[in-house]
Structure formats: C-alpha cells, structure tokens
Structure 1
Amino acid sequence: MSRETAVAAAAAFFDEGRFEKDLARRVAIASTSQEPDARPELERYLTAEIGPALAGLGFAWSTFENPEMAGVPFLVAERIEDPALPTVLTYGHGDTVRGHEGRWRDGRDPWTLSRDGDRLYGRGSADNKAQHTINQLGLEAALKARGGKLGYNVKALIETGEEVGSPGLRPFCRDQAERLKADLLVASDGPRVAPDRPTLYFGSRGVINFTLTVDLRQGGHHSGNWGGALANPGTILANALASLVGPRGEIRVQALRPTSLTDAVRKALADIEIDGGPGAPAIDADWGEPGLTPPERVYGWNALEILAFVTGDPAKPVNAIPGRAEAVCQLRFVVGTRPEEVVPAIAAHLRQAGFPQVVAAPARDTPMPATRLDPEHPAARFAAASLEKTTGKRPALLPNLGGTIPNDAFSEILGLPTVWVPHSYAGCSQHAPNEHVLRPVCREALTVMAGLWYDLGEPGSPLFAA
C-alpha cells in the first residue's frame, strides 16, 4: 500500500469517530499530577490505557517507578523490527493540571469530553492527551499501510509528572539511556503558531522563576507618624523592578540579553505570524525589545516578566507604611543564557544600581534549560517537506518553542535531534477551565503524523543518512 493509503486511513480515524472515542476514554481518567490524592489515576492511565493501546501495535511495554517522586510513574514501550535498524523515540505526558471542577463554561465536567461546534472540551485534551493520541493513531495508519513493517524501530516514553515540573525525568533518562537509545525524537506538545498552519519546532525556551524581597522591619507603621522618615519597601522594590525591565518590557540587565538571535534564526522566523486563534489577545506590537518583530521576541529573545507583586494588603489597605514587599518574576530565555547564572546576575545588577536591600533568590520551581536544533538540520528539513507534502501548506519552522518543555532530557541527556509537531493552538485554554482542541486541527494533524511516520521509512529519510 501507499503513503496516500496511510493518510486516508488517518483521516478515516477522525471521520468515523475513532479519534474522538479514544480521546474521550483518556480524558475520563482524571490523571492530574497536581493533586496527590489523584496519583493512582496516573498509574491507571498508563496501565489501563496507554500500555494496551501500544501493545495492539506490537509494542512491549513496562512501567517504572519515578526516582524522585512516588506515584508519578513512567511507561517505556519498544517496537523492535530489527536491532540493526535505526530507531525513533516518541514522547508524551499522561498527566494534566487540576480539573478546576465547577468553573467550566455551561457546567461542563472537565473529565467528560464534550463537543461544541469545532471544539472538543476536556481536561488534558490539548495538553497532552489529544497530541499523543494523534501520534499513536498516525503510527497505526502508517504501520497498516506498510503491511505491518515500518522499516525502523519505535520506542515510546510517557511520563506522568510533566505538569509538576517533570520530576525524575532527567535521572530516569540517564539511568535508562541504553533502553531509550534512539536516532531521532519525534513528539508533540504545545501550540501551532496559528490554528491553520502546520508547525514544527526543534527545542524550547528555558525558564527560571525567582523572587525579589525587601524585608525592612516587622509590621507596618502609621504613615502619618512615620511617612517621610521610614523607607518604604514597596517603593524600593518598584524602582528595583524598573531597573531590571523597562516601560515597554525591554530587558535592562545586560547579562540577560541573548546573543543567539543569528541570521539563520531570523530567516526561519521571517514568515511567522503569531495567531492564537479566536478569542486570543491582540499582539502589542510596540512591546518588548525595540527593533525586533513579535515572533523574534517570542522565539528568539529573552522575556523578563513580573508574575506577582505585593506590599501591604491590596484587598484591605491601611494607612501604614508596610514593612515588607515581594515580587515573583520569571525569565523565559533562549539558548546561550545559563539558568544557574540568572539570579547571581540579577543580584549583581541590583547592588550596582543601588538596591542592596533587595534580596534575589531562586523560586522553588525547578529551572529548565533552553534547547535548540538548527532549522537547517537534515531531520528538520525532512520533517518540513513531509508536512508540506501532506497538507500542501508550507509549515512554520520555529528554532524553539516560546514556552518550555523538558526537551533537554532528549537533546542533551540522550543526545538526540528533536522534532516537535504540535497539534494544539495558543487559544486552547490549557491549564485553565474550558481547555479544548479544535476538530479541524486534529483531523489535519492525524494525516500529518501518518505521512511523517510513513516517510521516515522511505529512502532519503534522515534515519538512513550516512
């Protein structure tokens, strides 16, 4: 059978209801990793749903305990046609954020997949259950079209702790490096640049959260008695923040300004337009680093954000000079910025700028490094040609995602070229009530993945490059 057979079979999975049925069954498993009492559902998602589905495609699978967080297991599956053949590793995560029950529009239950026009609502639908379901069904279509032989091996890694920072993923990959050994990663997470434009990305921005605290004295003091005589920690911190990031969001700390926005990256981003789809906020064209386009700011530059800032009690203010102020900040950063150097650089900048009272400290969240594969890499160019062949559209090529995923586990620890094919869109409400996927995107994504899995077994595939 042919490539066209694989693509048509994948479309039929959608048209005949198979995709929606599989997704509904998976959404119904309330596998949130953010609620410790729900941890048994993580194991059930792997053993009752993912493992049997992969076994039906000829995979042998096992689950493994997490070395860093109990009750947050991993599943590893292998489909080995011949140990001498090249191998593709695929990845997904079966956990979700909290369900936010009672906060969904029209009384929807987050754990029941529901259709409204072109939208399929359900917790985990976009992040990440629909995405790895699409990849598995696309693989099934390609496998059948090739008569049960892909011409290469496939391994799958499904984690259940991504929404709590992927604890244990990196040591697990180090410990299981031989079991996970492969030649290429093909996976899906995150959004397309626009709902109707197939997208590829080859890494992600890193992230680190940190706190800035000014703690001058115990409690507040009456502003009539002490105003003008006592330093105000809120005023100090506001000015300290203004020394870090300018009025248009530009970064003022030289050590946090990247040097990796190369001509090749600019070229890759030249035809990108950010479109979050219906209901997405309008782009603030004059926000961010001057001289850059919005895509360059999101995918090629660092962004310093103030996530929260409190002094006194904004809900119940009193006429008192507060004794303390605190801000929680975040840096999203591209390749070239090292997370372990961020907080020391900020502390040094604040001392030099005259704010010795401000204490900078890393937040409890685990920082994640930035990764990037050259868009001209053979695997990147091959995947782009495959997507264009299936859809007739020139895909968007992003050197890295604007958000953050644990890609370093694959690119740095396992040493793999990484190709990500996202199947969601920026307006999907992931991590919030009303999370959903778009049915037209899912249908096209099924055909995209069937074509890509098929093409990886063809002559000219990067798997067989000398």
Structure 2
Amino acid sequence: MQRDAIISRASDYAKEGGLAADLSRLVAYRSISQSEGKPEDLMAYLTDEMQPRLADMGFQTEISDNPRAGGAPLLLATRHEGDDLPTVLIYGHGDVCNGEAHRWREGLDPFLLKQEGDRLYGRGTADNKIQHLINIKALDLLIKTTGRLGFNAKIILEMAEETGSFGLREFFEAKRNALQADVLIASDGPRLAADTPTMFMGSRGGMSFDLVVNLREGDHHSGNFGGLLADPVIILSHAIATIVDRRGQIQIPEWRPTSLTPEIRAALKDLPPRRHDADWGEADLSPSERVFGWNSMAVLAISAGNIAAPQNAISGSARATCQLRFVVGTDMDDILPALRRHLDAHGFSMVEVRPGRGEAFKATRFSPDHPWVKFVEQSVAASSGKAPHVLPNLAGSLPNDAFTDILGLPTVWIPHSHAECGQHGPNEHALLSIAEEGMRIMTALFLDIADKATNLKRGS
C-alpha cells in the first residue's frame, strides 16, 4: 500500500502543477554554455537551485571548478545509507543551447515557461532540465515518505554538455574514487515513440569540423572576373558532394562502420519507424538501422557572401561547418585524417579541414543482456504496463564513455522527452504526459532497487 501511495504522489506531482512550477524556476536560469552564455549564470543554476534542493534531501554536496581552464563548474552530491547497499549514480546537465529568442514563434520566450495543453515550452524543458528534475524528485519522494532511499545515491550535474562535456572526463579521472558506483541510471535524449518508454545503453559519437576554401582577400566583381577567378563556393560544394552522394550516403570507406552485425540488426528489427524521407540515407538499410546502426554526415551551416543582401561578386572564401555522427566500429582517431586523404585523392587539396570548437563525443554501446539492464527493463515494463523499446545506442551523442571507460559502469538511460521536442532549435518543449509517466516509472524503479538492494549489491 505504501508503494502505491508513493507512486500516486509522484503522478500527482506532475498532474497537479508541482512539476511545472519547479520546472519554471529551472527554465528561468539562462544557463547557456554556448556563445550567448555567461559563466555566472551557469554557476547560479548550481548554487542557487540545485545545491539547496539536494542538501534538503540529505545529500552532501560539493561544487568543483572545471579541471580545464575556461570550463564550467560541476556539482557532485552523495547520500550514503550503508556499505552493504548498491550505489546508483545519476547524471544530468543544467546547461542549455543558445536561446535564439528571435527564432521562437510569437508568444514564446525561451526562458519563460509556458504551458499550452500537454506542451511545456522553454529552453531546457526537454534537454535536460525536466529530465534530471524528474529523477531527483523521484528520489525526494522516497526520502520524504519513508525517511530513506534504501540504497546509496550519487548525483553528478555538469554545465557544459552542450559544448561536448568540456572537462567532464578529466573531472572523472580526478574524482574516480568519489564517483564509484554500481550502475549509472540517467535520463537524456528522446523516446523512440512518445507513448512508449525507451531504454538505451550507449550513444552515437559526434565530431564537428569545418571545411574552408580561402582563395583570396575580399570579393571581386562577378562581371569583371566571372570566368576568370575560381569560385570558392562552387569548389566547396563539389568537395562536399564527394563525401556524400545525392541521398546522403557516405562515400569515405573509413567512415562506413563495421559494427552493424546480425545481432544489432535483430535488436533493431521490430522498432517502430522514425519520421524519415524514403529516398534519404543508406539505401539498403531500414530507417532504424540508418539512425541507430550507421553513420551520417550533416552540413550544419554554410557561409559565403551575404545571403540577406547578395552582391554581384565572387566571394573570396567559403566555409561549411559539418558533423559526423558515428557508431561503434568507426575509428574516431582516423575520422579527420581519412577526410583529408579523401579530399586530396579527389583533387581538393585547397579545401582546409579544421577540427570543430566543441569536444567530440565517443561512440559507446553496452550489452542489453547485463543483469542491471534486465532489472531496469523489467521494472519499467511493470510500472508502465508497456514493454519498453530497448536500443543498443541513442542516435544522438552523450558523454556515456566517461561512465563506461573511466568508471567502468553499466549504463542505462531512460529518456523523458520525445523526438519532436525541438531541442537545440526554436520552440523547445516537453510533454507533460511523458513527464507524468516518467515520474511513475522512476519512482517505481527506485522503489524496486531498494526492495532488491541486497541481491543487486551481491550481483554487481
């Protein structure tokens, strides 16, 4: 009866406005880690909001400077209830992308929460403030109701995920002992389908880079010099066309992964399809295989001249910012060298390759057969009444390698967002219906961990 009452309280927290009220305060922090941001706003999110909240829950908290110069702070919170109990590590990031208020539709402000039906609009609603709020509040309900968790918990909050988790790995190396745990259970990214819980155990890697063609200083009259001076935009366009074909299929052999095994294909076989263009991506792969089992390149931005007021001139230079999302089975260290070799072989030695400004994410996968994964899957299925979609990896990128490679942890991610949430763009929003179900799922999961704590500690 107490279990049902706690889960009911978790549901009411979302249904009766408590979650929206708490989220409204979080969204109001302009905790931007990109170009629009200010360091004091990143720190304020931790000192003014998260540290007091976690201290009230009985956690010992410590805010640390980033080990890399210019990096954002990190918060580590610990609640230890017994040496014989398992320790769950929980992760979240309080930083957000640039607000870009001018791109949001009329009536919306990226840092002012607004509810419209099931939708909660604001920067960070989906990525990632609502997600770690749900998990922390689920812990809080257990503590407030029963006086204990029934397991040990550690929470790491970073403020630089949107810039590649700058300094996180160095922090983990320095704090390895303090971060020791039995499992990572965290939330980020979207569900595969809005009405069904999703679990994933890794993520695609991500690496950004610039392609630059710089031929001369200044622009030159297109009449006087057309046909005489090489056009850097045309050169850059043809260079990109050698990297991917007209349907986006990768043409660099080293960028085509070797890890789409029969086992991975079987795991992806019965997933519902994502929104996709039928004539885009690797032709002989299913939509799920394209996004979860293969690599993709995107041109994020391209620049030459003034698109708002074009002049009759040949540009002196052109630049494209590109990104490769890649799965396990791609040699991360050879991505840019392979690109350089490819461009040279196709006669584009004049195209410069520059590494991106943000940190690159490593591709990771963790076995879906691990006991912790199976335990979480059974709990989610029982509390939601639905078999969750279990993915070998997320299509997006996360700092999962910090947990698997440095801390040696099994990693289980349970997202509380959906694919059409608008993260990283205008009109970002969360769905209250997913948040309510997320509150029930996470509260039930933590209750299950407490109930089976002895066996889980022994099994780990």
Map of 1:66 onto structure 2: 66
AA in 2 matched with 1:329:
C
Rounded Cα–Cα distance in structure 2 between residues aligned with 1:244 and 1:194 = 32
Q: Does 1:160 align with 2:159?
A: yes
Is 1:211–1:363's contact at 8 Å kept on the other side of the alignment? yes
Residue 421 of structure 1 corresponds to 414
Q: 1:457 aligns with which of 444, 450, 454?
A: 450
Residues in 2 aligned to 1:136 and 1:230: alpha-carbon distance in whole angstroms: 60
Q: What amino acid does structure 1 have at the position aligned with 2:123? A: R
**How many equivalent residue pairs?**
459
**What's 1:360 paired with?**
353
Q: Report the 3-state secondary structure (helix = DSSP H, G, I; strand = E; otherwise coil) of the residue aligned with 1:89.
A: strand
Deviation at 1:143, TM superposition (A): 4.1
What is the root-mean-square deviation in Å for CA atoms of aligned residues?
2.3
Which residue does the alignment assign to 2:208?
209
Asked if the contact 1:6/1:454 (under 8 Å) is kept, the reply is no
- The structural deviation recorded for 1:450 is 0.6
Q: CA deviation at 1:135?
A: 0.3
Instruction: Using the aligned pairs only, state the percent identity.
Output: 48
Instruction: Report the CA distance shift for 1:39/1:226 in structure 2 as closer, same or farther (over 3 A).
Output: closer
Q: Take 1:29 and 1:230, find their aligned partners in 2: how far apart are those partners? A: 50
Separation in structure 1 between the aligned mates of residue 58 and residue 233 of structure 2, nearest angstrom: 61
Distance 2:359 2:196 in 1: 32
Matched to 1:67, the amino acid is P
- Gapped regions of structure 1 (runs ≥ 5): 276-281
For the structure 1 residues 458 and 287, does the alpha-carbon distance in structure 2 shift closer, same or farther, using more than 3 Å as the test?
same
Equivalent AA in structure 1 for residue 235 of structure 2: I
In structure 1, the residue matched to 2:10 is 10
Cα deviation, 1:13-61, whole Å, max 9, x if unaligned, reads 2233322222222223332233676322322222222122222322111
Q: CA deviation at 1:138?
A: 1.5
Within 5 Å, which residues of 2 pair with 1:201-280?
A: 201-223=200-222, 226-275=225-274
Query: Conserved in 2, the CA contact under 8 Å of 1:143 and 1:454?
Result: no
2:381 paired with 1:381: no
Question: Aligned to 2:439, which of 446, 450, 458?
Answer: 446
Amino acid at match of 2:187: S
Give 1:279's aligned residue.
none
Q: CA deviation at 1:191?
A: 0.8
Identify if the C-alpha distance between structure 1 residues 232 and 41 changes in structure 2 by more than 3 Å, giving closer, same or farther. closer
Distance 1:312 1:20, change over 3 A: closer
Q: How do residues 299-318 of structure 1 correspond to structure 2 at under 5 angstroms?
A: 299-318=292-311
| 8 Å contact from structure 2 (residues 259, 293) kept in 1 | yes
Shift of 1:338: 3.0
Matches within 5 A, 1:16-165: 16-34=16-34, 38-70=38-70, 72-101=72-101, 103-143=103-143, 147-165=146-164
User: More deviation in 51-60 or 101-110?
Assistant: 101-110
Deviation sequence 1:265-299 (CA, Å, 0-9, x none): 22222222245xxxxxx520221011111111111
| Residue in 2 that maps onto 1:185 | 184
Counterpart CA distance in 1 for 2:213 and 2:17 is 57
CA contact (8 A) 1:64 1:75 kept: yes
Contact 2:128 2:188 in 1 (8 A): yes
Give the match's secondary structure for 2:451. coil
Answer whether contact 2:36 2:98 (CA < 8 A) is retained: no
In the alignment, which residue of structure 2 is the partner of 1:402? 395
**CA–CA distance in 2 between the matches of 1:354 and 1:35?**
35
Q: Tell me if structure 1 keeps the 8 A contact 2:64–2:73.
A: yes
Q: 1:411 aligns with which of 404, 407, 410?
A: 404
Q: What is the CA distance between 1:354 and its match in structure 2?
A: 2.5
Deviations 1:67-105 (A, max 9, x none): 225572111111101134221110111222233346543
Q: Distance in 1 between matches of 2:348 and 2:425?
A: 37
Describe the superposition over 1:106-164 as per-residue Cα deviations: whole angstroms up to 9, x where unpaired.
4333333221111112222111111111001212334456x334332100011122223
Q: Tell me, yes or no, if the aligned pair for 2:36 and 2:99 is still in contact at 8 Å.
A: no
Q: Which amino acid aligns with 1:206?
A: G
Distance 1:43 1:358 in 2: 40
Question: Cα distance 1:304–1:109, how it changes in 2: closer, same or farther (>3 A)?
Answer: closer
Shift of 1:439: 0.9
Alpha-carbon distance, 1:424 to partner: 0.8
- Match of 2:38, SS state, is helix
**Greater alpha carbon shift after TM alignment, 319-328 vs 351-360:** 319-328
- Looking at structure 2, the residues matched to 54 and 144 of structure 1 have their Cα atoms a distance apart, in angstroms, of 12
- TM-score, normalisation: structure 1: 0.91
Pick closer, same or farther for the CA change 1:402–1:462 going to 2, 3 Å.
farther
SS in 1 for 2:82: coil
2: CA distance between counterparts of 1:220 and 1:37? 33
Letter paired with 1:199: T
Q: For the residues of structure 2 that align with 1:87 and 1:75, how far apart are their CA atoms? A: 17
Task: Determine if contact 1:113/1:122 at 8 Å carries over to the other structure.
Answer: yes
Structure 1 contact 42–71 (Cα < 8 Å) conserved: no
State the TM-score, normalized to the length of structure 2. Answer: 0.92
In structure 2, how many angstroms separate the alpha carbons of the residues matched to 1:220 and 1:401? 44
TM-superposed CA distance for 1:304, in Å, is: 1.2
Residues 32 and 233 of structure 1: CA distance in aligned 2, closer, same or farther (over 3 Å): closer
Q: Which amino acid counterpart does residue 55 of structure 1 have in structure 2?
A: A
Amino acid at match of 1:81: E
Work out the CA distance in 1 between the residues paired with 2:319 and 2:131.
38
Structure 1 CA distance for aligned equivalents of residues 86 and 103 of structure 2 = 47
- Look up the SS of the partner of 1:126 in the other structure: coil
**CA contact 2:88–2:184 (8 Å) conserved in 1:** yes
* 3-state DSSP of counterpart to 2:45: helix
In structure 2, the residue matched to 1:348 is 341
Q: Distance in 1 between matches of 2:262 and 2:203?
A: 18
1:278 aligns with none
> Does structure 1 conserve the Cα–Cα contact (< 8 Å) formed by 2:142 and 2:148?
no
Deviation at 1:325, TM superposition (A): 3.0
